[in-house]
């Protein structure tokens, strides 16, 4: 069991284990086994979402592990068709996971979709574009997030995929500042300016797709491999340790037991091993021509991110 998983303190005093298991695109059986294995190996943080369609199987994995609920940090996310029905969506997530509270609940994307459209999760217009609910305002989604926090159903609330522009739609009327902004953050997409802004507001950045997601090109990057070899680490360890060194939460996903184990222990080893010069070198990769985003769903509105593909 990996010891000494670092924790990060939120602006509300709650603490989150800095390494969490990702669960996107993990099938039912795989995710149950992955979660059980991860918890037995020392993970204490699982990143979930209603939209992943596998929360029930995450819950089975948690129970199979024998680790008490109170020792586990569970995050889930409000899918876009539910922005006007936060408590109802949260109740579904709680029932799926088999728990009566979440440690962290996030707005998954800053884009409300039509709740009465032609699909429960991905409603489309006749022209094939996502059916955005232009009548709904994000600040009202945030009010409902604040309400479920006040009811005690979640311990912390936050956002995901919010640029500075989108955060500015909710902050002026927010009673509670988001604890977290979960973003695509890795060596090819470090978003230095946005991270600086988040830190100035006391919002913790969480790094999703820290390994470059599926079919990753980060794991074979020449600079990453060279740094890994120099320290006798794996490339994945370097990618994770780099983000931990920058005080971000990392969410590596794997359904492969050996990788689940090594991602946790390797991330911690890399955090202890990487030098300031290594971190500075990795910080510069994107600006040196390697900038790349891997997760760019076809939202038909401006999200306010740098380096997002031009609107359709
Ligand atoms: N808020 C949001 O919009 C988003 C949130 N997320 C969250 O972040 C998590 C992580 O992001 P994700 O996009 O899944 O991608 P990751 O960057 O975590 O990469 C996952 C991929 O890397 C492989 N992998 C894992 N460990 C290793 C290793 N040590 N060596 C080689 N390959 C490895 C996995 O394969 P295998 O499983 O076969 O081992 C999988 O194909 C998600 O699962 C989700 O929880 C992700 C995207 C968007
Ligand atoms: O968390 C993972 C991602 O955000 C994923 O939920 C989205 O990319 C979704 O597949 C979409 O197409 O909008």
Report the CATH number at residue 126: 3.20.20.100
Q: What is the pLDDT of residue 273?
A: 98
* Cα 274 to ligand 2 centre (Å): 32
Confirm whether 129 is domain-assigned: yes
Strand partners, 75: 47, 104
Q: What pTM value is reported for the model?
A: 0.98
Number of domains in the chain: 1
Q: Is 188 part of the annotated catalytic residue set?
A: no
Task: Locate the ligand 2 atom nearest the alpha carbon of residue 108 and give its number.
Answer: 4
ipTM over cut 0.90? yes
pLDDT of residue 312 exceeding 70, the answer is no
**Ligand 2 pocket, Cβ-based, cut-off 6 angstroms:** 24, 49, 51, 295, 297
Confirm whether 296 is domain-assigned: no
Confirm whether 189 is domain-assigned: yes
Confirm whether 106 is domain-assigned: yes
Question: Phi/psi at 300 (nearest 5 deg)?
Answer: -90, 25
* Cα 6 to ligand 1 centre (Å): 20
Confirm whether 307 is domain-assigned: no
Whether 57 has a binding-site annotation, put simply, is: no
283 vs 281: CA distance, rounded Å:
5
pLDDT of residue 124 exceeding 70, the answer is yes
pLDDT of residue 1 exceeding 80, the answer is no
pLDDT of residue 155 exceeding 60, the answer is yes
What is the average pLDDT score of the chain?
Answer: 97
pLDDT of residue 173 exceeding 80, the answer is yes
Q: Residue 263 belongs to what domain range? A: 7-290
* Sheet with 180-184, edge to edge strand ranges: 21-22, 45-47, 73-78, 102-107, 154-160, 180-184, 204-208, 249-250
178 vs 4: CA distance, rounded Å:
26
User: Smallest Cα–Cα separation from 203: which of 241, 159, 147, 155?
Assistant: 159
Strand partners, 253: 22
Confirm whether 258 is domain-assigned: yes
* Cα 269 to ligand 2 centre (Å): 30
Confirm whether 178 is domain-assigned: yes
């Amino acid at each position: 069991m990996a010891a000494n998983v670092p924790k990060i303190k939120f602006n509300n005093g709650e603490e989150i284990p800095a390494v969490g298991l990702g669960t996107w695109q993990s099938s039912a059986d795989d995710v149950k086994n992955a979660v059980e294995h991860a918890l037995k190996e020392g993970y204490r943080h699982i990143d979930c979402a209603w939209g992943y369609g596998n929360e029930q199987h995450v819950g089975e994995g948690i129970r199979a592990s024998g680790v008490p609920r109170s020792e586990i940090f569970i995050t889930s996310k409000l899918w876009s068709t539910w922005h006007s029905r936060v408590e109802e969506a949260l109740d579904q997530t709680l029932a799926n996971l088999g728990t009566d509270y979440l440690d962290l609940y996030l707005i998954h994307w800053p884009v409300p979709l039509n709740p009465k459209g032609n699909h429960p999760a991905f409603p489309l217009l006749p022209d094939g574009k996502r059916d955005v609910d232009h009548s709904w305002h994000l600040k009202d989604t945030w009010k409902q997030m604040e309400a479920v926090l006040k009811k005690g159903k979640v311990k912390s609330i936050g956002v995901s995929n919010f640029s500075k522009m989108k955060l500015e739609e909710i902050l002026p009327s927010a009673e509670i500042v988001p604890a977290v902004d979960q973003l695509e953050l890795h060596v090819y997409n470090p978003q230095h300016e946005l991270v600086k802004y988040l830190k100035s507001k006391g919002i913790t950045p969480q790094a999703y797709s820290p390994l470059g997601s599926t079919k990753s090109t980060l794991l074979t990057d020449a600079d990453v491999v060279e740094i890994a070899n120099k320290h006798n680490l794996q490339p994945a360890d370097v990618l994770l340790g780099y983000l931990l060194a920058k005080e971000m939460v990392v969410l590596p996903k794997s359904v492969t037991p050996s990788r689940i184990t090594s991602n946790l222990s390797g991330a911690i080893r890399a955090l202890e091993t990487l030098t300031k010069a290594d971190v500075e070198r990795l910080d510069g990769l994107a600006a040196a021509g390697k900038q790349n985003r891997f997760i760019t769903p076809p939202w038909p509105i401006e999200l306010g991110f740098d380096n997002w593909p031009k609107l359709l």
